[in-house]
């Protein structure tokens, strides 16, 4: 079964798991996925941590200890998540060394409530970087307008960053610009650029979910024929922007100092519409120098029946643009689509963070 995943990895796609729990760490499941399923990184978010804490007894001992010393909910969340991420970073240390720091990465998110707070985001990003104290950490910062200068400032301080919640190519270009700004400032600050890594998490399935809903509301044959096409087209346009930005004199000057490209990371690749292939957002986005972070269900589906047909992205920008032109022509307001997706993304993460807080509060109260 893993031959399919090997083919995906051999095509230049880094396979990251979109999940982490202490149970995975203790049982050896994560280590097994590295060995058997070509997994070379992990991403987390508040929903993942809330789910992990709600299931099983792996956190009981730490929760009892935190309760005994009167830890606040905020401090408990921090200590629990930092401990999991530290352990995961250690599990991936061999991958990190083998890939020269490109892979073997584990992501930990700043408080989503800071998504509109530049200074607060920078302060927490630096705090998490120091608290985890592992060179293969990625601090997740959202690509909101307030997040853009925070990304540059974190990079300038030598922090490796996973930029999350990117939906539009326009915002993605701004993210890449922030990365380059940050690298130039990092060099001026005396940081070794070779030690700084960043990925840009470009969300996939949610784009189809929002645009398909609007196409169905329009209801014409032309509109309905476009369902399920926008997300892949959007991602292909993003990759074209990536190849454009990471070329030319400005990038070459940074590369000469050891800088690494900020790879596109295809996020939200679990298919939400059961009418679509469950490996759609993996198969159609195969191209070198990318990451695909998958929920385990998608990973298993690809291992079972996924197919690698070679590079499905390079040279497809014109065709992808035709899809977007057609979507706009039937009446979908794309500017509004991306605004809605970003606002919903921040809102969902804030709600998940609140749920995580309630879960931890309940466990602390129970332990007391």
**Residue 54's pLDDT band (boundaries 50, 70, 90)?**
confident
Among 36, 12, 99, residue whose Cα is nearest residue 308: 12
Q: Map tokens 């292909």 to a residue.
A: 236
- Number of residues in the chain: 368
Rounded distance between C-alpha atoms, residue 311 and residue 287, angstroms = 5
pLDDT in tens, 353-368: 999 999 999 999 998 8
Q: Compute CA distances 292 → 4, 96, 102, 195, 298, whole Å.
A: 14, 17, 14, 22, 11
Mean pLDDT to the nearest integer, 164-191: 98
Is residue 120 a contact partner of residue 146, using CB atoms and an 8 Å limit? no
The mean of the pLDDT values for the chain is 96
Rounded distance between C-alpha atoms, residue 197 and residue 179, angstroms = 10
Which residues are catalytically annotated?
A: 140
Q: Compute CA distances 182 → 87, 128, 133, 232, 336, whole Å.
A: 28, 18, 21, 29, 29
CATH number at residue 352: 3.20.20.70
Is residue 5 a contact partner of residue 37, using CB atoms and an 8 Å limit? yes
In a domain, 353, yes or no: yes
Mean pLDDT to the nearest integer, 258-272: 97
For the chain, how many structural domains are there in total?
1
In a domain, 65, yes or no: yes
Q: What is the number of other CB atoms lying within 10 angstroms of the CB of residue 335? A: 10
Q: Compute CA distances 220 → 96, 109, 143, 208, whole Å.
A: 50, 41, 34, 17
CA geometry: angle 310, 313, 314, nearest 5 deg:
95
Q: Strand locations in 46-136, DSSP E?
A: 105-109
In a domain, 124, yes or no: yes
Mean pLDDT to the nearest integer, 88-112: 97
In a domain, 171, yes or no: yes
Mean pLDDT to the nearest integer, 327-333: 98
Q: With a cut of 50, say whether residue 340 has pLDDT above it.
A: yes
Q: Is 276 exposed, middle or buried (0-12, 13-18, 19+ CB in 10 A)?
A: middle
Among 192, 244, 195, 232, residue whose Cα is nearest residue 324: 232
Residue-level pLDDT at 2? 62
Rounded distance between C-alpha atoms, residue 297 and residue 71, angstroms = 35
Q: With a cut of 90, say whether residue 203 has pLDDT above it.
A: yes
Rounded distance between C-alpha atoms, residue 180 and residue 261, angstroms = 9
Residues above pLDDT 90, as percent of the chain: 95
pTM: 0.97
In a domain, 61, yes or no: yes
In a domain, 70, yes or no: yes
DSSP element (H, E) containing 162: strand 161-166
Residue 301 structural domain: 2-203+260-308+346-363
Q: Which two tokens stand for residue 182?
A: 């940050």
In a domain, 276, yes or no: yes
SS3 (DSSP) at 309 = coil
Residue-level pLDDT at 57? 86
DSSP 8-state code for residue 117: -
Residue-level pLDDT at 176? 98
Mean pLDDT to the nearest integer, 23-29: 96
Rounded distance between C-alpha atoms, residue 293 and residue 249, angstroms = 31
Residue-level pLDDT at 1? 47
Q: Which of 190-194, 229-233, 278-282, 347-351 has the lowest mean pLDDT?
A: 347-351
Mean pLDDT to the nearest integer, 141-170: 98
Among 212, 233, 200, residue whose Cα is nearest residue 341: 212
Rounded distance between C-alpha atoms, residue 281 and residue 120, angstroms = 34
In a domain, 320, yes or no: no
Residue-level pLDDT at 25? 97
Q: Which two tokens stand for residue 166?
A: 């990117």
């Amino acid at each position: 079964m893993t031959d399919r995943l090997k083919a995906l990895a051999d095509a230049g796609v880094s396979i990251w798991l979109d999940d982490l729990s202490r149970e995975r760490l203790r049982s050896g499941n994560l280590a097994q996925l590295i060995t058997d399923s070509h997994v070379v990184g992990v991403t987390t978010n508040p929903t993942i941590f809330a789910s992990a804490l709600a299931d099983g007894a792996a956190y009981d001992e730490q929760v009892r200890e935190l309760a005994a010393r009167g830890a606040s909910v905020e401090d408990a969340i921090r200590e629990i998540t930092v401990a999991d991420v530290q352990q995961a970073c250690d599990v991936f240390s061999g991958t990190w060394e083998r890939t020269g720091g490109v892979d073997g990465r584990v992501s930990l998110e700043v408080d989503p409530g800071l998504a509109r707070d530049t200074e607060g985001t920078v302060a927490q990003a630096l705090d998490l970087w120091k608290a985890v104290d592992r060179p293969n950490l990625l601090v997740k910062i959202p690509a909101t307008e307030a997040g853009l200068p925070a990304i540059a400032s974190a990079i300038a301080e030598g922090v490796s960053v996973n930029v999350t919640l990117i939906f539009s190519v326009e915002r993605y270009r701004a993210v890449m610009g922030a990365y380059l700004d940050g690298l130039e400032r990092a060099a001026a600050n005396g940081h070794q650029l070779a030690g700084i890594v960043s990925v840009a998490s470009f969300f996939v399935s949610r784009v189809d979910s929002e645009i398909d809903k609007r196409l169905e509301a329009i209801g014409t044959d032309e509109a309905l024929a476009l369902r399920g096409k926008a997300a892949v087209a959007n991602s292909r346009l993003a990759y074209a922007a990536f190849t454009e930005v990471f070329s030319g004199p400005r990038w070459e000057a940074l590369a000469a100092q050891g800088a690494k490209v900020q790879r596109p990371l295809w996020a939200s690749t679990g298919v939400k519409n059961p009418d679509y292939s469950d490996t759609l957002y993996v198969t159609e986005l195969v191209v070198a120098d990318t990451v695909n972070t998958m929920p385990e269900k998608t990973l298993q589906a690809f291992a079972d029946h996924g197919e690698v047909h070679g590079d499905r992205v390079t040279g497809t920008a014109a065709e992808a643009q035709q899809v977007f032109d057609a979507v706009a022509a039937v009446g979908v307001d794309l500017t509004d689509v991306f605004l809605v997706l970003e606002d919903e993304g921040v809102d969902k993460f804030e709600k998940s963070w609140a749920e995580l807080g309630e879960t931890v509060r309940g466990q602390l109260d129970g332990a007391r």
